[in-house]
Each structure stands twice: as structure tokens, then as C-alpha cells.
Structure 1
Amino acid sequence: MAIHEQDVAMCKRRDFLKLAACGAAVASFGGVLSACVGGSSTEGAESAAATDQVIVAMNTGSEPAAGFDPLRAWGCGEHVHEPLIQSTLITTDENLEFQNDLATDYFCSDDGLTWTFAIRDDVKFTNGDPLTASDVAFTINGVIKGEASEADLSMVREAVATDATHVELYLTKPYNMLLYTLAVLGIVPEKAYGDDYGANPIGSGRYMLEQWDKGQQVILKANPDYYGEEPKMKRVVVAFMEEDAALAAARAGQVDIAFTAAVYSDQEIADYELLACETVDSRGISLPTPQPGGTKEGDGGVAYPVGNAVTSDIAVRRAINYGVDRETMIKNVINGYGTPAYSVCDKSPWGSPDMKVETDVAYAKQLLDEAGWAAGADGIREKDGVRAAFDLYYASNDSVRQALSAEFANQMKELGIEVSIKGASWDDIYPHQYSDPILWGWGSNAPVETYELNYSTGWGNYACYKNENVDSYLDEALAMPHVEDSYELFQKAQWDEATQQGVAPQGAATWVWLANVDHLYFKRVNLNVAKQKPHPHGHGWSLVNNVDTWSWS
């Protein structure tokens, strides 16, 4: 069903009551923040501007459970970001192009199996020890051997420091996408790394950990011995809050920038403005391509059923892609704060313009008619005794996904397709991952998901689509010694005009992508956050990738 104005009004009334209920919690948290800035919330704002300090409200899920340890999850995993406390070999700029950080140069062998990095010799950790190639090798090998690591360097057999300023990475297969992992993998000191590193990190990055009040806040201070350009923001306070508490904290003037959601986007806060950051945070629905029957192994070796009697018809998948009205969906569900999504990589250099499809309901109906899907008495189509009906699963704790699912189901009914939405926990969703459409959230500043969601044996190939031509292009893309040369190959995997093959809507139509969801923040009007990279999936630390360049005016 569609979202109506009266439903929105009721939601806003409930949100107001939640804000009132969380007032005491915010007031208590405000004591911590006031202690940081040395005064009341108003004095705190003046202090922030005067002392080059900023207070950021992030969601509670942004607090690193394992601390600030790159060998575990800090900066890597599903929600990638720059580690701030540690340096990285390379980094990416706002155009997602690689720039040197610790590395002064790097290159790949012709066979794609050896990467060599030259390391600068003027860097030291905050304990005074010099950073050498040995520390780089130790970090990479630690990720390879660490069972708890969320960074994927499984394609690296070993890292070896050949001298104090050179390290070589020996791969088991050509895989140039490792550069994107290295761009967020913080280097740790071999001699000072231990079990308590996450709580007491030693790095060489722009910032140092000054204080961590678990469950409440993290305070970072500028590293006085940083080898790069001196940070403009000398102190960064990150407060972990629920969504409604973050809004209340902004209203109270206790934070300088606070994450928020589209439901709050029409709120007005004195001296604050709404900042909408572009993302590659895509919402899309996987469409299983096989007929029902058989199983596929998932995580933990569990065998899950494969296939769907309706979405296995390519005409249905194509009709869904042409029939969905993304613009209306964005307007109705997220108040216009987003852009239509056509792939998992729309704004990326490796994204294909051929993934874009214009809404054409008449053509969608024509596809279904020609494929033999005839409307029944109730308007729902049937073919060979199969009703054009399927379940759509979404994470029940995500109100945006629920609303997107409801709007999608409403639109599909016009095509004669019946969609029953099912909110569930991820534990209950995963058994359906290969047999039923699921609304997912993806997006990264790397082509990893473009590969994994479309490759035959990819961990994200929930559509269970197999195509040798697509696989060949993806493998060839990974083998390019120069990453820039891989972009066209990634694009051809999405749609190859010569062979008329690919995962695009006019081809296999393995997914229907709905929206890239903007990341929204309430920001003080005199806080300049500089140019942001596209934010990946996950509403958290990616905001402060460039916090060292922020300023007050």
C-alpha cells in the first residue's frame, strides 16, 4: 500500500513523543559533551569555533565493538571508512582516484600476482617508533591470518618487507581490487601491537585517541607529529546516539553536526541547516533467476533452497525493472532525498550507463502479455497455472526498507504482479536468500560488490545467475595491472552491446534497483565540512573521512 499524508502525520506525532521521552537521556549526555568543551551547550558551540573542535553525533552502530583495531573491523568490513588514527598505504580522493599516503610509489607485475610498494621514510608512530615496511607487512599478514578480521585480503598469500622502505604482496590470483582495501587498512606497529590495541591504539595518522567512554563518546585529538598537512580541526568529539536523541541534541545545541533520517528532513532548527550527502548507498531487490529446485550452500555450510517460479521468467524480471517508478518511490518514501538507482555502482567510474532504464509501464505490461502472463479475474496475472505472486522480504527494523517494500508492492499491482511484503530478522531472512526476492542495502567506493553480486560464485549472487561471458569480463577486469583499465570491463559485464548479454534490465535483469539514499545531517550553518566523497552504505564514519579539512566561518 502507498504511504498517505495522514500516515506521515501520525508518524511525526509519534516521533515528537519519542523526542520528549528521550529528553532526560540527552540532558545526561549533554553533561559529557559540556565537559568536553568546557561549558554550557551555547558556550560549547563558541568554544568549538574558537578552538578548532567539532562535535559529531553518529548512530550507536558506529561505535567500533572491537575498538580501533584495523586487524579486526576498524575502517573495514561492510561499512568502510578512513581509519583516521592510522595511516594507509594509499587513499582515494573525492573522485575515487587513488592518491599516495604512506606509499611514494607502487606497481603491479605483468602477471598481476605481485604488487610492490615503496614506503616513505619520515613517518613515526605516536610512541616514537619509526614506521617501516616491516610494519606494513605485519599488518597485512595479520589481516590474512586473523580469523576475526573483516577486511578481505584472502587473495594475498603473503606480504614481505624486502627492506626498510619496500614491501611486496604476493597474490594467489590477479586481484587489483585489493587496492581499495589497502586504501582503508590502517597500518599498526609490529612491536607495539597486542591484545589491548583496540582500546589503546598507536598509529601514525592525522589523529590520536584521547578518550573513549564506551557507549557514549570518542574523543580524537590532532597528532602533533603527523607527517602530512596539519589538521584544521584539532579535536573531534564523536557522540553515539539513537536517531531521535541526535535530533534532540542538535535542537539543544549540544552537537555541531548530527545524522538524521528523511522523516525528520522538514524539521527546522535555529542556526542549523540540512546537509544532504550523495551516496552509493543503494537499495535494490534480488530476483532469483533459476526455477525452483535444488539447494545452494550459504554461510556456515547451510544448504538453502534455490529458485522462484515467478522471477525465474526473464520477462517478469524485465517487466519489473521497466515498470517500477523510482522517482515516485523516492518522493513518497524518503521525501525526495535520494536519486534513482539502476545498479550498485551508478556514480562510480566502473558503473555502466546501460544499466539506466526509464519507467515505461505500458512496455512492462507488453512484455508480460507477450510472455503469456494473462490477467485473472482479480487482475493478477497467471501463466501455466502459476500465479504472478511472490513474497518480498525486508529487515523489519528498518522503516525505510519497509516503506520502500510497501511502495514497490503497490506499484507492481498495476502490472498484475502480487507482492506480499514480509518483515523479518536477518536470521529469518537468510534461509530465503536464494529463493525469494529480498530488499538489500549495498554500496561501496570500490567495485567489489559489482563483482560479487554478479559473478557466478560471488558471495552476493543472490539471483543465482550464471553467465560465462559476464564471468569472463569480471575476471579480466581484476587482472588489469592498472585499475583504470578495468572500468570498461566491469561495464561490459553489466551490459555488452556486442553480445547482447549482461545483468542490465534489457538483459538478464537479475536485480531491480530502486534508490540511492542520501545521507542526511543537521549541521551548524557556520561549519564547513569540505567536499565529501560519495558515502558508501552505512551511515557513520564516512562523514568524517576529511574532518581534518573542516573549518568554522
Structure 2
Amino acid sequence: MEQKYIIGIIAVILIAIVGGAILIGGPSTERADNELIVAAYSHGGEPEAGFDPILGWNYYSEPLIQSTLLKMTRGMEYENDLAKSWEANSDFTEYTVKIRDDVKFTDNTTLDAEDVAFTYNEAKKSGASLDLSSMENATAVDKQTIKFELNRPDSTFVDKFAYIGIVPSDSYNNETYGANPIGSGPFKFVQWDKGQQVILEKNPDYYGKEIKFDKLTILFEQNEAAFNAAKNKEVDIAAVPLSYANETVDGYNMHLMDTIDVRGLSLPVQNNTGKLSEDGNPIGNNITADKSIREALNYGVNRTAICKGALNGIGVPNYDGIAHLLPWANNESAIDDGDVDKAKDILKKGGWKDTDGDGIVEKDGKKASINVYYSSNAPERQAIAVTIAEEAKEFGIEVNATGSNWDEMDKIKNTDPVVWGFGSTDPSTMWSEYYSDQATVGYNNPALINNSAVDKHIDNAMKSDRESSYAEWSAVSWDGQTGISPKGDAAWLWVGEIKYGYFVDESLDISNNTELIQPHGGDIFGNIYDWSRVSSIEK
């Protein structure tokens, strides 16, 4: 055989191998003007159990594949989606919802009240989605009416209507649904390449506002990988950490979105007496149980400096975990912090002294030394922990900043401070964070707060209509006498509210005027109905 033919055959084989590798390998980034590729790890990341709302897919965010009963508006109010109307009884122990009769799942079956009741009942059983502990049962009264019966007053239950996607009761299988979901949302599921991407296509039978894009690919890239995807023009949008907020990428605009997402450290208020939680993990911390330690940290740490440094100059100081954009924010929780002398004085009055001259105070033979854990894949949490460690040294507290993962932190979350993120338009998250009987229940109340006045304010809020409840939710922070904020129990060291940074291709308009306030975890797709391509993509 002549040499040129051999070379030709080899070339063909190489082309086939390379082509096959491209098809089998990494995610495709070629796209047309009516397609979107988004690196949006902030939108829930890759779900371990797949795209199943019952098992936790995208609660607090637009589920894309499934429909919800209500939708959140820009003004943090609710509008109908599947629901046509809803009402609650006078003590908020019963809710009745009427739904549309013109909605089909992508398998062409009709969505009715049985599907809604089934979804909520199964979500309660799984415990992996929103907290539905106040719900006793959901029942289909007729094809278009669902009754929700509660076991206690809960005026926040309406919030759950906006965040649980509805699944088909007849075909649902909890072992297989997540990998091949059927829904009635604006997009239908096409393909999940685990570890890489999920591909969705526009649902032609969607009953709501028409999406302007036929295909949506969500890449599970984060941090530097997402930043590089933008630099390589592989995506329309890339969600990046705040450390990239001041970077520039040709052809992209950096878009910062307001959030109600707050970062802070839990400071367990109970001593470690050897008691274990139900799952066998330790409870309490003999250093943070001393209130003077908690107060010194709250008054000595400089939140403004942290916002300028760790949060890249775009954070907002926070003192109680309630973002200032929320209607139940409490301005009275603010203190004059960064006061090293005050922190030293608090420790001195509390009996803490540096007797060996190493710069760290002691009391009863114990060093004021604590471990602070943070998720290693969250750069801003690492920066917060490290900065607090540096600042705390100035007033005599040793903080050991330790990177970890949630499997490991799950074991120590009730005994060591952890850098957390919280923030929701559903005020009942304050019940899970601060209510006494929620201590050691999952990730609830990691600071082990046990304050009867706080519990009473939460109980009163749950029994009040939404507008009236705001004053009670606010009082959880500080009511003039007590609360969880620095002026009260100082049970947390809340630091600052963050923003979310996205590199957005200049060809894309993501409708800044209709974007939603971002909850913890992000909801970049909350107004995708208003997105449009304003110019052709440069390739």
C-alpha cells in the first residue's frame, strides 16, 4: 500500500477518534442565538438525587422543569402560577388552594389536585425539601382543589407554595424520577451528563409566559472553572465568586445581583457536657458557652473591614442574619463593632486574662481558643474565617480557621463554630435557625439557642398575618430586652450580606428591571421568562 494512502487512513482514524472524544467527553458549548449555556453552580449545583423536588431539587429557586403553585415577585410578594387562588383560615392551620385546569405534564397527562397533594405529602415524608413539619396532610378535595391541614398555626406556610415543584403522582418513582423528570414547567428535561451538565428544551405546552430560548444547558462548573468558561466564550452566563467581581472579560459584563444571603458564624451557647445528639454527634462548646467570648467576638470583629476585604468591597455589614432588604429587618440590632478595647474589657470583666503572655486569654485553666470551620469550595467563607482569625488575635481569642466539607462539618456543627449562609423570603427560616426545640435537628439551630422570649416572638409571628408578623420576626433579633443579636444572647457572629456576581455575555439581556432578590443559593433563572438575545453571539 502506498505511503500516502496509509497516511490518509491514519488521518481519518485520528479525526474519528478526536470527534468521538468530543462527543463522549466534556460538555458541548456550541450554541445558536436561541440557545443558552449557563455555568450556574449557584443555582443549586448538581443535585445528587437528580432533578426531583421531593428529594430537594432547587427549593427556594425556580425549578425550571416543574411548576409551582405560586411565584415570588420582585417586590417579594406572591403571584399565581399553578394556583388560581388560595386562602387560609383565621388561625393559619388550614389552607385551601384552587388550581388551573389547563395544565399538562410533558408526558401529556393532566396535572390535577391529586398531583399537588401527592407531591407535598411525599416531600414531607422525605424531609429533603422545604421544612414541612407544620403540615399534617394535603388532600385533593376535587380535581382543582387542595386542602392543606396543619398541626400548628403557620402563617408562613404560603411561602412553601412558591418553592416545591409538582410531580405526576401516577408515574412518580423516587428511584428513577430524578434522572428522568417529568414536569409542567417552562422547560422539559432532555439529558443529564453527570458531573458536567444538564440539557433542557423549551416546553411547547407550557401554560405561562413563553420563553424566548429553545434550549438551556446548565453547566455544573464553579469558581475558576466557571470564570475560565467565560474567558473562553463558552457560556452566556457564568456565576463566579466575589473574588472575581473586579475582573474583566472581553465580551461580557459583570452583573452584581442584590441578595438576602447573609454569612455568619454559629457560636454554641451551651457547654459540652458529653451529651450527644440523636445522631451521635457532640453538643456544646466550653469556650463559646461563655457569653463574654461571644460578646467580645461580636464587638471586636470589624464587619466593615471584612466587607471591604473578604467580601471584595461589595458586602453589607450584618448583625443578626436578617438582610436589610427584608421587611422584618431590625435596625436596632446594629452595634459599633471593630472596637478592640471594648472586646478586651468584656473579656476582662468576664474573668479572662492572659497569664502566660502568649497573647491568648485564659479562664479556669482553659485557653480562649476555638476552631471555626468553613466549606473549602466557598472562597468567601474561607476569607471570612481567616480574617476573623486575624482580628480576634488582637483582643486575645485564638481562632483556628479550618477548611472542610459538609459531610465532616455535619458531625461538629453543634460543637464548633461554622461559617454558614442563610437568607430566604420565607421568615420561617428564623424558626429553624433560632427556635429552642430545633437545636440538633438536622442543620437547625446550630448555636443551640434556648431563649423563651425568642420562642414566644416566633410563636406570635406564626399566628399573625404576614404584615402583622414582621414586628414579631424583627423582635427575634432584639426586642429591647433580649434576642439573638449582639445586644442579647450574641449567639451568632453575623458578618455581612453578600452579592452574587455573574459574567453575562453582551449579546444577552437578562432583564435587570425584573430580576428577583436572590435568596441563599441563588435564583438566576427566576425571571428567565423576560430574557432575550439582543445581538448575535460572536463565535
TM-score, scaled relative to structure 2:
0.86
Q: How far did residue 388 of structure 1 move?
A: 2.8
Q: How far did residue 412 of structure 1 move?
A: 1.0
The one-letter code matched in structure 1 to 2:94 is T
Of residues 100-109 and 366-375 in structure 1, the stretch that sits farther from structure 2 once superposed is 366-375
1:323 to 288, 293, 300: 300
Q: What are the within-5 Å matches in structure 2 for residues 182-197 of structure 1?
A: 182-194=161-173, 195-197=175-177
Q: How far did residue 222 of structure 1 move?
A: 2.3
2:45 to 62, 69, 75: 62
Q: How far did residue 506 of structure 1 move?
A: 0.8
2:506 to 517, 525, 528: 525
Q: Show CA shifts across 1:279-311 (max 9, x none).
A: 23322111122234242415x3x1514232x32
Secondary structure, in 3 states, of the residue corresponding to 1:32? coil
Looking at structure 1, the residues matched to 471 and 381 of structure 2 have their Cα atoms a distance apart, in angstroms, of 32
Structure 2 equivalent of residue 413 of structure 1 = 393
Distance 1:526 1:338, change over 3 A: farther
Distance 1:472 1:225, change over 3 A: same
Looking at structure 1, the residues matched to 191 and 367 of structure 2 have their Cα atoms a distance apart, in angstroms, of 59
Unpaired segments ≥5 residues, structure 2: 1-20, 535-539
Q: Show CA shifts across 1:92-134 (max 9, x none).
A: 1123212211112211122322111111223222333332222
Looking at structure 2, the residues matched to 202 and 323 of structure 1 have their Cα atoms a distance apart, in angstroms, of 52
Looking at structure 2, the residues matched to 536 and 420 of structure 1 have their Cα atoms a distance apart, in angstroms, of 29
Looking at structure 2, the residues matched to 249 and 135 of structure 1 have their Cα atoms a distance apart, in angstroms, of 39
Q: How far did residue 209 of structure 1 move?
A: 1.9
Structure 1 equivalent of residue 470 of structure 2 = 487
Distance 1:251 1:108, change over 3 A: same
1:353 to 319, 331, 344: 331
Looking at structure 1, the residues matched to 516 and 478 of structure 2 have their Cα atoms a distance apart, in angstroms, of 26
Distance 1:286 1:279, change over 3 A: same
Structure 2 equivalent of residue 152 of structure 1 = 131
Contact 1:494 1:503 in 2 (8 A): yes
Looking at structure 2, the residues matched to 171 and 136 of structure 1 have their Cα atoms a distance apart, in angstroms, of 16
Structure 1 equivalent of residue 10 of structure 2 = none
Contact 2:265 2:419 in 1 (8 A): yes
Q: Does 1:254 pair with 2:234? A: yes
Q: Does 1:82 pair with 2:78? A: no
1:339 to 297, 316, 319: 316
Contact 2:39 2:222 in 1 (8 A): no
Secondary structure, in 3 states, of the residue corresponding to 2:40? strand
Secondary structure, in 3 states, of the residue corresponding to 1:546? helix
Structure 1 equivalent of residue 345 of structure 2 = 366
Contact 2:281 2:412 in 1 (8 A): no
Structure 2 equivalent of residue 390 of structure 1 = 370
Distance 1:224 1:495, change over 3 A: same
Structure 2 equivalent of residue 7 of structure 1 = none
Q: Does 1:514 pair with 2:495? A: yes
Structure 2 equivalent of residue 19 of structure 1 = none
Q: What are the within-5 Å matches in structure 2 for residues 22-421 of structure 1?
A: 32-34=28-30, 37=31, 47-48=32-33, 51=34, 53-59=35-41, 62-76=45-59, 80-145=60-125, 147=126, 149-194=128-173, 195-298=175-278, 300=279, 302-308=280-286, 310-346=287-323, 347-361=325-339, 362-376=341-355, 377-421=357-401
Identity of aligned residues (%): 38
Q: How far did residue 389 of structure 1 move?
A: 2.8
Q: Does 1:475 pair with 2:459? A: yes
Looking at structure 1, the residues matched to 110 and 370 of structure 2 have their Cα atoms a distance apart, in angstroms, of 60
Contact 1:394 1:422 in 2 (8 A): yes
Structure 2 equivalent of residue 22 of structure 1 = none
Distance 1:387 1:210, change over 3 A: closer
Contact 2:27 2:196 in 1 (8 A): no
Q: Show CA shifts across 1:298-330 (max 9, x none).
A: 5x3x1514232x322323322211211112122
Looking at structure 2, the residues matched to 268 and 30 of structure 1 have their Cα atoms a distance apart, in angstroms, of 25
Structure 1 equivalent of residue 7 of structure 2 = none
Looking at structure 2, the residues matched to 162 and 74 of structure 1 have their Cα atoms a distance apart, in angstroms, of 27
Looking at structure 2, the residues matched to 513 and 386 of structure 1 have their Cα atoms a distance apart, in angstroms, of 25
Q: How far did residue 375 of structure 1 move?
A: 4.3
Q: Show CA shifts across 1:137-167 (max 9, x none).
A: 122222233x374333232222111122211
Aligned residues: 503
Secondary structure, in 3 states, of the residue corresponding to 2:49? coil
Contact 1:206 1:222 in 2 (8 A): yes
Looking at structure 2, the residues matched to 496 and 148 of structure 1 have their Cα atoms a distance apart, in angstroms, of 32
Distance 1:448 1:124, change over 3 A: same
Contact 2:36 2:215 in 1 (8 A): yes
The one-letter code matched in structure 1 to 2:282 is Y
Looking at structure 2, the residues matched to 102 and 151 of structure 1 have their Cα atoms a distance apart, in angstroms, of 18
Secondary structure, in 3 states, of the residue corresponding to 2:310? helix
Of residues 375-384 and 157-166 in structure 1, the stretch that sits farther from structure 2 once superposed is 375-384
Looking at structure 2, the residues matched to 420 and 219 of structure 1 have their Cα atoms a distance apart, in angstroms, of 42
Looking at structure 2, the residues matched to 533 and 29 of structure 1 have their Cα atoms a distance apart, in angstroms, of 35
Secondary structure, in 3 states, of the residue corresponding to 2:178? coil
